[in-house]
Amino acid sequence: MTNEKEPWIYVNRWGDAADPVPGRRGSRQDICSCFDQSRPHPRARVGFHTERQDTSAPGWQRLLELIDEAAADGREEFRPLVDLTPQERRQIITLPASIARLTAVKRLVLYGSNLVRIPPEIGAMTSLEEFTPYTSYRLHWFPYEITRCRKLTRSTVSTRALFGNYKLRPPFPQLQPPPDCVTNLDLQNLDPRHWGTTTVHNCSVCDRPLEPSGLHQAWISLRVATDVLPLLVSACSAACVAALPSGPHDHIPTPHKGGRVDQPASDWD
């Protein structure tokens, strides 16, 4: 007889979502050098990822098919990347707007993705309860529209990769001043270098179509499910920006334009 305890068995919750070739992250993910994800550099300058989605890529075409299948069968869990090769996974840098059709999905798993942005249409996934973009190291922010997922209570995010995260306090990209008029802007083909996204349809806050005079962007950090996330707001007016809720005290609690803004001290200082 011995008094030794049985060893713990740790379960890999996302084993079937990982790269099928162990140790070859580069086969499915590009390396991100936006900021150091291991050491604090709060006064550095950062920007948005500038990549645009290649909609002719095989991975994108396959993802569209997978979304169609998931919408048709009403599945509650959607793990699209497991059905793509590592090369196809690397081709996906955003999600299609058609994710708005996945209204039955409760669990969205994007483990180890190459994503650099999530479209605002995620807000239409009204049944979403669990969101897992874990180890998506190029995903630094989320659209404010994710707050419309009222049932979302669990998330697993690589927080060190987030703008303004509490561990490292990396800065936020500087946002553009509101244009005097958006009639000269192609809102379906924006430059992500300046606006963070390639399309803006409706106001992030009130969901109304953007007025000709309105594109007011702001950052706000809010707790979404398990994590505090940096959220990009694309609003129709200054009034909608002013209507945003207050954030947690250990982050910048009010909307801001990014750049070299003062943040609370890092927990690692």
Per residue in 127-174, pLDDT (tens digit) is 999 999 999 999 999 999 999 999 999 999 999 999 999 999 999 999
Nearest to 257 by CA among 142, 139, 172: 172
Provide the residue ranges of all domains of the chain, joining segments of one domain with +: 33-242
Residue 1 is predicted with a pLDDT of 47
Residue 40 is predicted with a pLDDT of 80
Tokens of residue 181, six digits: 């008029």
162 in Cβ contact with 230 (< 8 Å) = yes
Least confident of 24-38, 100-114, 127-141, 193-207: 24-38
Predicted confidence (pLDDT) at residue 49 exceeds the cutoff of 60? yes
Q: What average pLDDT does the chain have?
A: 90
- Tell me the pTM: 0.89
What is the average pLDDT across 219-223? 98
Nearest to 165 by CA among 41, 33, 32: 41
Least confident of 52-61, 110-119, 231-240, 258-267: 258-267
What is the average pLDDT across 247-269? 88
C-alpha dist (Å) from residue 88 to 83, 100, 138, 221, 233: 9, 22, 16, 32, 30
Confidence at 211, pLDDT banded by 50, 70, 90 = confident
With 0-12 / 13-18 / 19 or more C-beta atoms within 10 angstroms meaning exposed / middle / buried, residue 201 is middle
Predicted confidence (pLDDT) at residue 237 exceeds the cutoff of 50? yes
The residue ranking higher by pLDDT, 172 or 44, is 172
